[in-house]
Structure 1
Amino acid sequence: MRTMDKVVGLGLTMVLLAGCATAPPRNPENICAIFEQHGGWHQSANKAREKWGAPVHVTMAMMYQESSFRHDARPPMRYFLFIPYGRASDAYGYAQAKKATWADYRRESGNGWADRDDFDDAIDFMGWYMNKTSKINGISKWDGYGQYLNYHEGWGGYRRGSHLRKGWLLTISRKVEARAQRYAEQYWQCKDRLNRGWFG
């Protein structure tokens, strides 16, 4: 019976934890709808903008591409003859941050308790990364295309031109840029209302 009690208790704990996870936005194509559903996300995005100078519409467009706003997103499992043998990388969370880069962020930002599956931490990480991209490779924080290429390839990879051999990545980066522009147009319409804290 003790074993059964432990199994039931573990199951209940997992259900409760799953219930605490923030659901992805119902309408991820509209930044106003995203922030109206998740008001705390707007505050977090604004904090990252104030701290790192990262435009809200660019960070949100990059996060959409990386995780579709899922807190537990991971790269897909790889298979050999139907046998799983691991994932392409250890990227995880809203920002699909890798462990080593996340460790650098925690150390340099002073946010030592940051979690990759916490939206506030993830968007702060993206702001930190975009700020470093601007300093290291001279890419404007408003340039969704160039920022995403750096985010995907890393600063050294971008300098070496690794993205130039990846047509699929260039296409995706243009999609990020286009989404950022749409988000910017939408955000212009609702930013003041969101900042007042009511959605009437």
Structure 2
Amino acid sequence: MRLSLILLALLMIGGCASTPPSNINNVCDIFAEKPHWQRAAERTERQWGVPVHVQMAIIHQESSFRARARPPRKRFLGIPTVRPSSAYGFAQAKDGTWDWYREQTGRRFARRTRFAHATDFIGWYTDVSARTLGIAKTDARNQYLAYHEGHGGFRRQTYRDKSWLIDVSHRVERNAQRYEQQLRDCQRGRVRRALNPF
């Protein structure tokens, strides 16, 4: 009986930990609700030089902050069949790319459903894109195109034939800009409260 209650409590805690934030369009609200996410994103920025707002815009686009997100299954005669790719987790990393990340960073036990691991993955991948493709780490639009198409696809400019993807990359850029402004505003608010607590 006691063991059952402990297992139930652990399951409930695990379920709460993977719940998306209430307002995914405001990064200040996200971090107020999930301060450990803010610490993870800031750690990634220090480690890889990728701004928090760029990381968060990519995760917003890829999974809407759902830990176990997967692409929807294809349908045949209305029946769900296979998924179009192995993309999974916050960062929607594919199996092969995730394995490459773990091999290159030595993080063998990293999981795609852990937010801190997903931000680190995005930081690492963006760093590789910056070094190999010359894309600034602050350039959310082109970093997203390289993220989506892969480094080879970005070099070949495969995105040019995908108007929908160009639109998505602009949305990522707009979200990154909005998140950047929101972060400035909430940081100013914290400073004001610290200076005038009454």
TM-score (norm 2): 0.88
1:109 Cα shift?
1.0
Alignment correspondent of 2:182? 186
Matched, 1:173 2:169: yes
The separation in 2 between residues aligned to 1:33 and 1:13, in whole angstroms, is: 26
- Comparing 87-96 with 107-116, greater Cα deviation is found at 107-116
- Measure, in 2, the Cα distance between the counterparts of 1:30 and 1:20: 20
**Counterpart residue identity of residue 178, structure 2:** R
2:149 alignment counterpart: 153
Q: Deviations for 1:81-128, whole angstroms, at most 9, x for unmatched residues? A: 122221010000000000100011111112111000000000000000
Pairing partner for 2:46 from 41, 44, 50 = 50
Which moved further from structure 2: 21-30 or 36-45?
21-30
**Displacement of 1:13 after TM fit?**
9.0
Q: Which runs of 5+ in 2 are unaligned?
A: none
Gaps of at least 5 residues in structure 1 are 1-7
2:106 to 107, 110, 130: 110
2:135 counterpart of 1:139: yes
Work out which of the residue numbers 60, 68, 73 in structure 2 matches 1:72: 68
Deviation at 1:21, TM superposition (A): 3.5
Give 1:142's aligned amino acid. Answer: T
Aligned residues: 189
TM-score norm. by structure 1 comes to 0.88
Shift of 1:190: 2.0
SS of 2:82's equivalent?
Answer: strand
Deviates more, 1:165-174 or 1:13-22: 13-22
Specify the alignment match of 1:25 in structure 2: 21
Q: Deviations over 1:8-57 (max 9, x none)?
A: 99x96995475343211111111111100000000000010000000000
Out of 44, 55, 60, the residue aligned to residue 59 of structure 1 is 55
| TM-fit CA distance, 1:189 | 1.6
Change in 2 beyond 3 A, CA 1:13/1:26: closer
Q: CA RMSD in A?
A: 2.3
Question: Which residue is equivalent to 1:40?
Answer: 36
Structure 2: distance between partners of 1:48 and 1:120? 8
Q: Is the 8 A contact 1:21 1:71 kept in 2?
A: no
Residues 106 and 191 (structure 1), Cα distance of their counterparts in 2 relative to 1, 3 Å cut: farther
Secondary structure at the aligned position of 2:74 is classed as: strand
Other-structure match for 2:123: 127
